Amino acid sequence: MELVVASAVGVLTAGGVYLILRLRAFPVILGLALLSYAVNVFLFATGRLAINAPPVLQKYGEATYTDPLPQALVLTAIVISFGMTAVLVMIALGAFIEAGDDQINMTETDEDEPAGKDAAA
């Protein structure tokens, strides 16, 4: 079970990094979402992978329990990442409507210009 979860975190992280390195806005947003899912799965797995275990320690009974703190952290992270994704989609949509393309361009002139050129003019 741990191997499956670790593989899933690795695949989500690799896919997220690959998409973030693209030169389009939409794949970058998807890459950030995949990275946030990878972090959520990793945080959830830190609470022990126990099947049919209660989320709290009982006074009498089983010694096996699942830590509820990572579950609460993941729930909070899901809400935050959903809001972040919604804001990024709106920013990308506004840029697409304004420019007519979602290409992310780095022009050669930006790198060649000296830093103080605008201040001297």
pLDDT one-digit tens code per residue, 35-58 = 999 999 998 888 776 777 666 666
Number of residues that make up the chain: 121
Q: Tell me what pLDDT residue 112 has.
A: 55
pLDDT < 70 positions in the chain: 49, 53-58, 60-66, 106-121
Domain boundaries defined on the chain? 2-105
Q: Tell me what pLDDT residue 67 has.
A: 73
H-helix or E-strand containing 43? helix 25-45
Residue-wise over 15-27: b if at least 16 C-beta within 10 A, else e? bbeebeeeeebeb
Q: Tell me what pLDDT residue 79 has.
A: 94
Q: Tell me what pLDDT residue 14 has.
A: 96
